[in-house]
Amino acid sequence: MEREPEMGTFTSLCTLLSLLFFVHADIVEQFEDVPECLKYFYKSKVPKWGASTPGTKHLCQRFANRYHFATLYDTNHRIAVYSAYVFEPSNGGGREKRWFVEPQLVDKSWQGEMVDGYRLGKDHPGIYLGQKQALNEDYTHSGFDRGHLNPNGHHAVPGRNSTFTLTNVVPQNPKLNQNAWRIHESQLTDLFREKCSKAYVLVGAVPSVDNWIVKNNVKRVNIPEYVWNAYCCVDNNDRPIQSGAATAKNTDDNLVKKLSLDAFGKFLQQFSDQAVGEVFHNNCNH
């Protein structure tokens, strides 16, 4: 006569299956559930900023069957609240011609890895992919660039390729994207290469009150009022050695303002009714 499994064994099995599910999922309940995704946050501290935004999804950005960065995605505005990543020295390559979308934002049962939006549409004819995310066609002839938050130039292949997902871009003023912001990203590249053993970076956007890319009389993608980034640079012993932040109004002003993390926290606070808190553990101090 067979014995029924003990409750403890059953519970352990369920826990194991749950962990396996989270490890292989792209959209997760919280970043803390997935160690491979949590590693993009300094000392595993996930910012409070954006946590209360309605309709957000936690994306562990998966490409070539592994994670490369994390994105808190706002499905109502169809832009990211922020992307979090660790800088990787790069020798170029990996400039994608494809733009990826997140299948699980269409159907939770679909695959977790990002997919070329054109191909996914061909694989699922008659199913609209853009209910909860931006599509490549939204940006076409919009007058705005597909502005990377997590920049492709801060990664080596294949991480570089993974940044070409539409959940990692926002409508960015072309003058800003191609000039002042590009120069700022290049300056950070030099800084991270020369000074940091490892650099943890957050890059995000502040949505506008009511400025949108409109297609067929439908508000499709919010045009952010600001783009921003913040970084925590550490030495070989994971001790902070330098930090900073920058903001830029998403206009033809083409101006990047550099800030301390303390000043950056005050910048974010003006857009929130709740306490923003630290964006990095201990504000990237010893």
Q: What is the per-residue pLDDT across 120-161, written as a single tens digit (0 to 9) for each? A: 999 999 999 999 999 999 999 999 999 999 999 999 999 999
Strands (DSSP E) found in the chain:
27-28, 56-63, 66-74, 79-86, 100-101, 115-116, 145-148, 169-172, 198-206, 212-215, 218-222, 226-234, 240-249, 256-259
Quote the CA–CA distance of 190 and 183 in Å, as a whole number.
Answer: 11
What pLDDT is attached to residue 263?
Answer: 98
Q: How far does Cα 199 stand from its chain's mean position? A: 16
pLDDT average, residue stretch 106-118: 95
What pLDDT is attached to residue 91?
Answer: 81
Domain boundaries, given as residue ranges, for the chain: 7-284
Q: Is 75 helix (H, G, I), strand (E, B) or coil?
A: coil
Give the confidence band of 234 by pLDDT, cuts at 50, 70, 90.
very high
Q: Is the pLDDT of residue 164 over 70?
A: yes
Quote the CA–CA distance of 223 and 274 in Å, as a whole number.
Answer: 23
Give the confidence band of 208 by pLDDT, cuts at 50, 70, 90.
very high
Closest by Cα among 78, 86, 73, 76 to 38: 86
What pLDDT is attached to residue 163?
Answer: 97
What pLDDT is attached to residue 4?
Answer: 45
What pLDDT is attached to residue 143?
Answer: 98
CATH architecture type of domain 7-284: 3-Layer(aba) Sandwich (3.40)
What pLDDT is attached to residue 92?
Answer: 79
What pLDDT is attached to residue 5?
Answer: 46
What pLDDT is attached to residue 16?
Answer: 41
Average pLDDT, the chain: 91
Q: Is the pLDDT of residue 250 over 90?
A: yes
Quote the tokens at residue 218. 């439908």
Q: Is the pLDDT of residue 238 over 70?
A: yes
Q: Tell me: the pLDDT tens digits for 81-111?
A: 999 999 999 887 778 999 999 999 999 999 9
Q: Is the pLDDT of residue 12 over 60?
A: no
Write phi, then psi, for 151 (nearest 5 degrees).
-75, 140
Q: Is the pLDDT of residue 173 over 60?
A: yes
Q: Is the pLDDT of residue 20 over 90?
A: no
pLDDT average, residue stretch 171-179: 98
Top pLDDT among 161 and 26 is at 161
